[in-house]
Amino acid sequence: MIALDPFKEIIEAQHVADSGERSWAFGDPERVASDELATLLKLSPDSIKKMKTLRTGQGRLVYQWKPNGQKKWYLVAVSRPYWLSFYSRDANKVAWVVVAAYAVCE
């Protein structure tokens, strides 16, 4: 599903992290990626294991996950966008958020 207003969803993710409900989003980018992928695929978050870090950059990570026995694999990009500091409770605490998720067929 493509969000009609992705900025609204990213800002909401920051507010949820600020509330303490998902405080782990400040320090666990892999969990942010796996949680979103599980939601998109309608799977249990515990079923997304062994995500591989494909690329790293300043404030950005790309993870790859391939389910056992399937030809399809997935890429999830997470970021800490600097502009979220304007919406955060503490400008020094910006949550990791998913900015892209893709299914790739071999």
pTM: 0.89
Average pLDDT over residues 2-22: 86
Q: What is the DSSP string of the chain?
A: ---S-HHHHHHHHHHHHHHTTTGGGGT-HHHHHHHHHHHHHT--GGG---PEEEEEETTEEEEEE--TT-S-EEEEEEE--GGGGGTSSSTT----EEEEEEEE--
Average pLDDT over residues 59-87: 93
- pLDDT tens readout for residues 22-70: 999 999 999 999 999 999 999 998 899 889 999 999 999 999 999 988 8
Q: How confident is the model at residue 4 (pLDDT cuts 50, 70, 90)?
A: low
